[in-house]
Structure 1
Amino acid sequence: MKVVITATGNTLESTLDTCFGRCAYFFIYDIENKIMEFIPNKNVALDEGAGTASVQFVASRNVKKIISGEFGLKIKPILDSLKIQMIVLKNPEKKIKEIIEMLHR
C-alpha cells in the first residue's frame, strides 16, 4: 500500500508539512516494498486549486492514505470519493522517518 506524507524537504530528516495542497514535497512510501520517493509539489504556486490538483497527482500514483497537518475544505469529499484515507497529524515537528516508524507499528 502506498502512503503520501507531506514534507517540508526531500530527506527523511525533513518534517511534516502542515499543508496538503501547498506542501513543499510529497513523500511517497510503499509500505510493503519499502520504496521511497520525494517529489516536489508543482502545485504550490497555483493561485487557486492547489488542493484539487494535488489530489489528482496523488491519486495518479495509486495512493491509499495521505498524512498531513491539514487539508482544505474541498478536499475531503474528493478523497472520500476516491477512497483515499486522510490522516491529520497535529505534530509539525515530527520527522518523516518517525512517521514511517509509526506506520510499521
Structure 2
Amino acid sequence: MKICISSKGGSTTSVLDPRFGRAAYFILVDSDTMKTEVIENSAIASGGGAGIASGQLVVDKGVEVVITGNVGPNATKVLEASNVAVFRGVPATIEENIEKYQKGLLEKISTAVPAHFGMGSMEA
C-alpha cells in the first residue's frame, strides 16, 4: 500500500507538516517494502487551488492513505472521489507517523477544515 505523509522536510526524519495542500513536501512510503519517494509540493505557493492540485498529485501517484494534520474541502473532495483514506498525523517525524498508522493509533479524518485554513500561516 502506498502512503503519503505531508512533511516539512525531504526525508523520513523530517517532521509532519500539519497542512496538506500547502505542505512543503510529500513523503510517499510503500508500506510493503518501506521504499520512499520524496516530492516537493509545487502547489505550496499557488494563489488558489492548492488543495485540488495536491490531492490530484497524490492520487496520480497511486496513494491509498494520506497522513497529515488538516485537509481542506477541495482536497477532501479529490481524495474522497478516489477512495483515499485520510488520517490525522501527530507532530512527530514521518517515521513515527508511519509506525503509529501501522499500529492503528491515528484518527481517521472525516471532516474538512474551512477553505484557506492554512494560508498565510506556517502552522494550521
Separation of aligned partners in 1, 2:77 and 2:55: 11
Aligned residue pairs, count: 103
- Higher normalized strand content (fraction of residues): 1
Alignment RMSD, CA only? 1.2
* Matched residue, 1:57: 57
Q: Secondary structure at the match of 1:23?
A: coil
TM-fit CA distance, 1:12: 2.0
Residue segments in structure 2 that go unaligned for 5+ positions in a row? 104-124
TM-fit CA distance, 1:74: 2.1
Q: What pairs with 1:2-81 in structure 2 (closer than 5 Å)? A: 2-81=2-81
Separation of aligned partners in 2, 1:104 and 1:55: 22
Q: Secondary structure at the match of 1:63?
A: coil
Whether 1:85 aligns to 2:85 is yes
TM-fit CA distance, 1:66: 0.4
Q: Which moved more, 1:68-77 or 1:16-25?
A: 68-77
User: What is the TM-score of this pair, normalised by structure 1?
Assistant: 0.91
Which AA in structure 2 matches 1:44?
I
Residue segments in structure 1 that go unaligned for 5+ positions in a row? none
Which AA in structure 1 matches 2:44?
V
TM-fit CA distance, 1:60: 0.7
2:95 to 94, 97, 100: 97
In the TM superposition, what whole-angstrom CA distance separates every residue of 1:53-86 from its partner, at most 9, and x where no partner exists? 0011001100001000000122223211110011
The answer as to whether partners of 2:27 and 2:36 remain within 8 angstroms in 1 is yes
Share of identical aligned residues, percent?
34
TM-fit CA distance, 1:33: 1.6
Separation of aligned partners in 2, 1:11 and 1:82: 26
Higher RCO (CA < 8 A, seq sep 6+): 1
Which AA in structure 2 matches 1:33?
T
User: What is the TM-score of this pair, normalised by structure 2?
Assistant: 0.78
